[in-house]
Amino acid sequence: MGIRTKLSGNEAVSVAFKQINPDVVAAYPITPSTEVPQFFSTYAANGEVETEFVPVESEHSAMSACIGAQAAGGRSMTATSAQGLALMWEMLYIASAYRLPINMAVINRALSGPINIHCDHSDSMGARDSGWLQIYSEDCQEAYDNFIQAVRISEHPDVMLPAMTCFDGFITSHKVENLELMEDAEVQKFVGKYKPPYHLMDKEKPMSMGPLSLPFHYFESKRQQAEAMRGSIKAILEVAAEFEKVTGRKYGLFEEYQMADAEVAIVILNSTAGTAKDVVDELRAKGVKAGLLKIRVFRPFPVEQIVAALAKCKAVAVLDRADSVNAAGGPVFTDVTSAMFGRVDGVKVINYIYGLGGRDVKTDDIKVVYNELLEVVKTGKVKEVYNYLGVREV
Amino acid sequence: MNAGKGVKLVSWKEITHGSHVFEAGNAKNFKTGDWRSNKPVFIKENCKQCLLCFPVCPDSAIMLDENTQVTGFDYDFCKGCMCCQEACNFKAIEREDV
């Protein structure tokens, strides 16, 4: 039986940490993720978990401690945001290359500068090619559910890659929402005991990690890592099916909202999907065939599945809460369009950068996007591919 | 650079996760002698078997026989640092260009 309660996103995820009861949590506080290790440190101090809680001196150390713990055969977790994730940078690649299934909550916040503490996705989008799985969450319930599933996905024998569960700073992290938790015993049963295939403390099977991998071997290691990422789609769906059996809550690689007959659609991730769904409802009431595709799994990028979901649309807008500052478009846009290239032709795809540094995104902003899509369908012409939403032009 | 004699190069499907190493004492399989910048040459007739060269070699590249007599250099691992030549008082080690 689920437990009905009301929690903020950070509280919900710290409860997930507690219910998983990992071997090690190493973390350093940074807004807006601070509450996750803060609440967890209380659970540790109260003896509610058996976890070794390590309050380290930086995020670089937090990730390093997680890598050490996981390499020693433990299950380790952490949480961070923005600059904290940036400071972990070099260690992110070590974690994924060593195939250590560390789990991290990334509470999305704009990367400085200018200095800003509010939501956008520049932090996790910057880490999109670090070899970590990335799962995005619209609300507190999804953040909780995704974090628990991510543990199973990352530790799957065919995957063995670290995972980030991402949700929007302040918007999701600090809002209190009605949600349903799993029972402690249910979570324990779902995640099971972590059984690494090898670890540094195994005296029956001694090994060493981190050798110099020269030009004879490095390429093969990276190729193998890429294959694990590609193959993880199967594991993600398997875990989601099992999760649905336990909780009744259904997850896929993405959510399709009114997509069956949609002519115009928005591709988006995290909390703004909720705002955009309201607009879809409003447009549907007026007879407009509007739809929405909310990406849940961004790494691995579900190329075939996303292409199939968008193939029947006439015009699509991809909304990015991070700008790649590359003169080409945001990270989600460039991935969606390169997925579609050569697979589906004739769908007009445009990009909007929105909500940077916590800029509010209202239903009126989303309506601007759908209106532009309808204009594209009507005229058959795209005025501008790479657009900005909600920025002062004059 | 070469992978070394007798080293089997495995495919990406067979390589260990993260190039992890599950075998002890395998440094001997990786021949590092091709980095050598000088070549020490053993002059047997000058050698007094004082063994002053042996402990200064940073890479155990001075070969001894079963009677602990110097027999020459293991060029699979000698880097040509010439510490052995410095230690030798009997002109039993000469330097050659590589």
Domain-embedded: residue A224: yes
Tell me the mean pLDDT in the region A32-54.
98
Burial of B9 (0-12, 13-18, 19+ CB in 10 A): exposed
Per-residue confidence at A146, pLDDT binned at 50, 70, 90? very high
Amino acid letter, residue B79? K
Clarify whether residues A220 and A361 are in a common domain: no
Domain-embedded: residue B76: yes
Clarify whether residues A270 and A207 are in a common domain: no
Clarify whether residues A229 and A332 are in a common domain: no
State how far the Cα of A102 lies from the Cα of A161, in Å rounded to an integer.
Answer: 7
Q: How many domains, in total, are found in chain B?
A: 1
Domain-embedded: residue B6: no
Reported as a single tens digit per residue, the pLDDT across A317-364 is 999 999 999 999 999 999 999 999 999 989 999 999 999 999 999 999
For residue A71, how many other CB atoms are within 10 A of its CB?
A: 25
Q: How many domains, in total, are found in chain A?
A: 2
- Would you call B43 an interface residue with chain A, using a CB distance cutoff of 8 Å? no
Tell me the mean pLDDT in the region A293-312.
98
A218: domain CATH number is: 3.40.50.970
Clarify whether residues A108 and A38 are in a common domain: yes
Report, in this order, helix, strand and coil percent for chain A, each rounded to 5.
Answer: 40, 20, 40
Tell me the mean pLDDT in the region A205-217.
91
Examine the fold and report which residue of A247, A274, A305 is the final residue of a domain before the chain moves on: A247
Q: If we measure between CA atoms, which residue out of A224, A168, A102, A216 comes closest to residue A357?
A: A168
The whole-number pLDDT of residue A108 equals: 98
Average pLDDT along chain B: 91
Clarify whether residues A264 and A383 are in a common domain: yes
Given a cut of 60, is residue B1 above it in pLDDT?
A: no
- Would you call A223 an interface residue with chain B, using a CB distance cutoff of 8 Å? yes
Q: Using a cut of 0.90, tell me whether the model's pTM lies above it.
A: yes
> Interior CA angle at B6 toward B2 and B10, to 5°?
75
Clarify whether residues A378 and A286 are in a common domain: yes
8 Å CB contact of B18 and A99? yes
- Domain of B38, in residue numbers: 31-97
Examine the fold and report which residue of A202, A226, A247 is the final residue of a domain before the chain moves on: A247
Domain-embedded: residue B59: yes
Domain-embedded: residue A394: no
- Would you call B1 an interface residue with chain A, using a CB distance cutoff of 8 Å? yes
State how far the Cα of A18 lies from the Cα of A75, in Å rounded to an integer.
Answer: 13
Domain-embedded: residue A195: yes
CA distance readout (Å), A198 to A73, A204, A206, A222, B11: 7, 10, 8, 19, 21
Domain-embedded: residue A379: yes
The whole-number pLDDT of residue B22 equals: 92
Tell me the mean pLDDT in the region A25-48.
98
Given a cut of 90, is residue B34 above it in pLDDT?
A: no
Reported as a single tens digit per residue, the pLDDT across A92-129 is 999 999 999 999 999 999 999 999 999 999 999 999 99
Given a cut of 70, is residue B63 above it in pLDDT?
A: yes
State how far the Cα of A74 lies from the Cα of A71, in Å rounded to an integer.
Answer: 7
Clarify whether residues A136 and A23 are in a common domain: yes
State how far the Cα of A362 lies from the Cα of A375, in Å rounded to an integer.
Answer: 20
Assigned token pair, A335? 């991935």
Query: Is residue A62 helix, strand or coil?
Result: helix
User: Could you tell me if the ipTM is greater than 0.85?
Assistant: yes
Clarify whether residues A288 and A169 are in a common domain: no
| Closest-CA distance of chain A to residue B28, Å | 15
Domain-embedded: residue B70: yes
Clarify whether residues A35 and A58 are in a common domain: yes
Assigned token pair, A224? 């193998």
Residue A9, Cα to own-chain centre: how many angstroms?
A: 14
The whole-number pLDDT of residue A65 equals: 98
The whole-number pLDDT of residue B28 equals: 81
Per-residue confidence at A1, pLDDT binned at 50, 70, 90? confident
Examine the fold and report which residue of A247, A281, A306 is the final residue of a domain before the chain moves on: A247
> Taking CB atoms and an 8 Å cutoff, what residues of chain B touch A160?
17
The whole-number pLDDT of residue B5 equals: 62
Query: How crowded is the C-beta side of A57, counted as CA atoms within 13 Å?
Result: 0
Query: Is residue B94 helix, strand or coil?
Result: strand
The whole-number pLDDT of residue B29 equals: 79
Domain-embedded: residue B43: yes
The whole-number pLDDT of residue B2 equals: 62
What is the distance in angstroms between the CA of the first residue and the CA of the last residue of chain A? 55
Give percent of chain A above pLDDT 70.
100
Domain-embedded: residue A178: yes
Assigned token pair, B35? 């980095």
State how far the Cα of A392 lies from the Cα of A386, in Å rounded to an integer.
Answer: 16
Reported as a single tens digit per residue, the pLDDT across A49-102 is 999 999 999 999 999 999 999 999 999 999 999 999 999 999 999 999 999 999
Clarify whether residues A209 and A278 are in a common domain: no
> Taking CB atoms and an 8 Å cutoff, what residues of chain A touch B9?
216
Tell me the mean pLDDT in the region A206-234.
94
Clarify whether residues A102 and A195 are in a common domain: yes
Mutate to test the interface with B, among A220, A227, A230 (most CBs of B within 10 A): A220
Given a cut of 90, is residue A260 above it in pLDDT?
A: yes
Clarify whether residues A53 and A146 are in a common domain: yes
Domain-embedded: residue A260: yes
Q: Are A127 and A92 in contact (CB under 8 A)?
A: yes
- Domain of A282, in residue numbers: 254-389
A376: domain CATH number is: 3.40.50.920
